[in-house]
Amino acid sequence: MMPVGEQRWEMLERIGAYAAGELEGEEAREVERLLFERPEYRRLAESYARMLVMLTTLGNEPVEAPEAVVGYAVRRAHVLAFMRSAEVFVGALGRSYIDAFVYYLGLRRESYGGGT
């Protein structure tokens, strides 16, 4: 048998799901029966409905990120773009040096410029 606290919690969640319009069919009818029979459950469903309206209202209010956040994000994007370009540039430069060094040591048979 479920402890009273757990039973109440389960009922709390069920009525919450009903208030949020997430119950269907027999489950919804069962909760409606309870709401009809028990005024405290009815009051609970009303409280849920009130809370959900508040959450939705607050959620629909436009929120703009502070200038500091946007500015920081833009700076990070620029730094990242610079680092990526630098990485590509240094990588290409390094490869060229290695190629030149390999050619200088004569480790590669074919020569640059289509020589002998």
Binding site for another protein (CB under 8 A): 4-9, 12-13, 16-17, 20, 40, 43-44, 46-59, 61-66, 68-70, 72-74, 76-77, 80
Q: Give the number of other CB atoms < 10 A from CB of residue 111.
A: 10
Q: Give the number of other CB atoms < 10 A from CB of residue 75.
A: 10
Q: Pick between residue 28 and residue 52 the one whose CB is nearest to another protein.
A: 52
Shortest gap between Cβ of 65 and another protein (angstroms)? Answer: 4
Shortest gap between Cβ of 29 and another protein (angstroms)? Answer: 19
What is the residue type of 37? E
Q: Pick between residue 37 and residue 64 the one whose CB is nearest to another protein.
A: 64
4 Ramachandran zone, left/alpha/beta (phi>0; psi -120 to 50): alpha
Shortest gap between Cβ of 46 and another protein (angstroms)? Answer: 7
Could you tell me the two tokens for 99?
């190629």
